[in-house]
Structure 1
Amino acid sequence: MDADPNKSLRGFGSVERVKAMLEAACPNTVSCADVLTLMARDAVVLGRRDGKVSSATEAANELPPAYGDIPLLIKIFASKNLDVKDLVVLSGAHTLGTAHCPSYADRLYNFSSVYNADPSLDSEYAEKLRTRCKSVDDKAMLSEIDPGSYKTFDTSYYRYVAKRRGLFQSDAALLTDAKTREYVQRIATGKFDDVFFKDFSESMIKMGNVGVLTGDEGEIRKKCSIVN
C-alpha cells in the first residue's frame, strides 16, 4: 500500500474489510491473493497462498513506474514473463482511476534544461493539467487518468494516448515503440473494442499467474497489508 506506484490506488480499505469478515467466518483459510483475485472478477485458482514479505520498497522496485520509458517497462514486464503486447494491453487499465499530482507533475514543470514541459505531452492538455496541479509539490489535487471516462472500463484511454494526452510518461512511452504504437492507434479508432477486451482478459490471466505460491510456500495472511 505504501509503495509509490500504489499511492493513487483506492480500495485497500474494502480489501481489509472483506478479509476481516472472512477471517471471522473461516479463519486461516482464504488467502489475500484469492481475495484480490475474486474482487478483480478473475478466476480463482484454489490453493494460492500469500507471500511472507510485505515491502513497500520491493513493490516499488517491481511495479512499472509512472516515469518509465519503453526499455524500462519492457524489462520489468519481461521479468514477469509478460511480453510487449501484455505491456500495451495492460496499460489499458489506466482507463480507470485518478492520480495525485506528484505522479505526473514533472511533465509540467522544469522537465529538462531545454523544455519546461514534456514535449511529448500535448501543449493544450499540459496547460489544462497545470490548472489542477499547481506545482510539483501539490499533493492534494487529483486528476482523472482517462478524463470523462475514469469510472468506465472502455477503450477511450487509447484515444487520449494517441493524441499525446496520456497522463503519465509511461503512457506517452507507448507511442515511442513501433509495436505498442500500432496497438494504441488501432484500438484508438474505436473499431476494435472487442479485440481489446479479449486481449485484456488474456493478459490479466497471464499476470494473475505470476509468482503464484501454493502448497507449503508462503502463508495465508490474517490481514492483507501485513505478514502474520
Structure 2
Amino acid sequence: MGRVTTIQVIALFSLLIIFPNLAFAQLKQNYYANICPNVETIVRNAVKAKVQQTFVTIPGTLRLFFHDCFVKGCDASVMVASSGSNTAEKDHPDNLSLAGDGFDTVIKAKIAVDAVLGCRNKVSCADILALATRDVVVMAGGPSYAVELGRLDGLNSTAASVGGKLPKPNMNLDQLNTMFAANGLTQADMIALSGAHTLGFSHCNQFTNRIYNFSKKSPVDPTLNSTYAAQLQQQCPKNVDPRIAINMDPNTPRTFDNMYFKNLQQGKGLFASDQVLFVDSRSKQTVNSWASSSQAFNNAFIAAMTKLGRVGVKTGQNGNIRRDCSAFN
C-alpha cells in the first residue's frame, strides 16, 4: 500500500511539472447549471446593451481579458482599484491604456447577474469577464465557443506584479514565444491571439519609432508597406497628441476576421511585434495559412482562448467570489 502511495505521489509530482496550472481541472462548461442556470444569457444581454452604447466595448473587453490572464492568471485582479497604500494592477503603466468600457462591461454584467434571484454572489468576476470576452468576439462577427467556468477571483492585485508580463509592441518572435510559453501557450497560440489585433486601436506613441526614427540607415521600418507608412505619418505627425487612436486593422477594424493576417502579408502590421510574425520564417507559414482560411484561424483562436482561460486559475482558499469586481470583499 505504501509503495502505491509513493508511486501516486511521484506521478502527481510529474504532472505538476508538465501542467503547472492543474487548478484549471476544476473548470467545466455549464459550471453554473445548478447555481445560476441563466448566467450566460444574463451576461450576454448586459454585454449587448453596452456594445450598443459604444463599439469600444468590444476591443476593450477582449484586451482586458488578455491583460488579466497574463498577470497572475485569469482572476479578475486587473479589475481591482488601487486603495490606501496599495497600487493595483490596473494602475501599472502597461495597463493605463486599457479602455474603461471593458471594465464597465464586466461591472454592469456582474450587477445584472447579482440582480437575479439565486445568483447573487454566486458568480465570480473572473468568469463574467471570460463570458463577456466570448460574447464581444461573437458580436464583432467572430466565432462562438463554449467557455469553461469555475474560476474564483484573486485575493491580491499589485502594480509590482505586472512588469515584464505583457507583450511590448517592439518584441521579436523569440521574446513573444518565451512570454507566451511561460503561460503554457505555444507559438501557434501566440499567433492566433495576436489575430485579435483585427479589432481595436492603439496610440501613436506605441509605434512612431517605426515611421520616424527606426534606424540611422532607414528612418522608416523597411518591413512597413511604404504607402501604409505614409498614411501613419499623416495620422501621427511628429509632436502629435500621443493619445490619438489609430486602428490596428486599417481595413476592417470593427469586424473579427482574418484580415489581420492578410495585412501582415502586405506589410501592414501596426506593431513591429505584429509584422515580425510574417517577416520571421518560423511563423510566416502560419500567417499565410490563416490569411487564406478564416475557418482555420477561427479554430486556432478558439483553442488558444480556451487555453488562455485556464492560466493561473484560482481555487479553494486561493480565491473567492467578489461582491464588487473593483474591490476585495
Fold agreement, TM-score > 0.5: yes
Distance in 2 between residues matched to 1:118 and 1:225, nearest whole Å: 41
AA matched with 1:210? V
The Cα shift of 1:60 comes to: 4.7
Greater mean alpha carbon deviation, residues 92-101 or residues 47-56 = 47-56
CA RMSD of aligned residues (A): 2.2
The Cα shift of 1:43 comes to: 3.6
Distance in 2 between residues matched to 1:43 and 1:136, nearest whole Å: 45
Residue by residue over 1:72-107, the C-alpha shift from the partner in whole angstroms, topping out at 9 and shown as x without a partner, is: 101100000101111111111111111111222221
Answer yes or no: is the 8 Å Cα contact 1:111–1:117 preserved in 2.
yes
Which structure 2 residues correspond to residues 15-26 of structure 1 after superposition, within 5 A? 15-23=106-114, 25=116, 26=119
In the alignment, structure 1 residue 38 sits paired with structure 2 residue 131: yes
Count of residues paired in the alignment: 226
Residue by residue over 1:150-196, the C-alpha shift from the partner in whole angstroms, topping out at 9 and shown as x without a partner, is: 111111110111111100111011124323111112222x3x11111
Residues 215 and 153 (structure 1), Cα distance of their counterparts in 2 relative to 1, 3 Å cut = same
Distance in 2 between residues matched to 1:208 and 1:106, nearest whole Å: 33
- Report the counterpart of residue 122 of structure 1 in structure 2: 225
The Cα shift of 1:23 comes to: 4.4
Distance in 1 between residues matched to 2:274 and 2:111, nearest whole Å: 36
Answer yes or no: is the 8 Å Cα contact 1:88–1:174 preserved in 2.
yes
AA matched with 1:35? I
In the alignment, structure 1 residue 181 sits paired with structure 2 residue 297: no
% identity of equivalent residues: 39
The Cα shift of 1:45 comes to: 3.5
Distance in 1 between residues matched to 2:94 and 2:265, nearest whole Å: 23
Residue by residue over 1:89-127, the C-alpha shift from the partner in whole angstroms, topping out at 9 and shown as x without a partner, is: 111111111111122222122223333222221222111
Distance in 1 between residues matched to 2:208 and 2:156, nearest whole Å: 32
Pick one of 102, 106, 112 that aligns with 2:205.
Answer: 102
Distance in 1 between residues matched to 2:327 and 2:240, nearest whole Å: 29
Higher relative contact order (CA 8 A, sep 6+): 1
SS at match of 1:68: coil
- Report the counterpart of residue 66 of structure 1 in structure 2: 169
Which structure 2 residues correspond to residues 162-173 of structure 1 after superposition, within 5 A? 162-173=265-276
Residues 33 and 152 (structure 1), Cα distance of their counterparts in 2 relative to 1, 3 Å cut = same
**Higher radius of gyration, 1 or 2:** 2
Distance in 1 between residues matched to 2:167 and 2:276, nearest whole Å: 12
Answer yes or no: is the 8 Å Cα contact 2:251–2:259 preserved in 1.
no
Residues 94 and 3 (structure 1), Cα distance of their counterparts in 2 relative to 1, 3 Å cut = farther
Distance in 1 between residues matched to 2:253 and 2:171, nearest whole Å: 22
- Report the counterpart of residue 199 of structure 1 in structure 2: 300
AA matched with 2:304? S
- Report the counterpart of residue 12 of structure 1 in structure 2: 103
Relative to its length, the structure with more helix (as a share) is 2
TM-score normalized by the length of structure 2: 0.63
AA matched with 1:207? L
Greater mean alpha carbon deviation, residues 63-72 or residues 8-17 = 8-17
AA matched with 1:61? G
The Cα shift of 1:27 comes to: 4.2
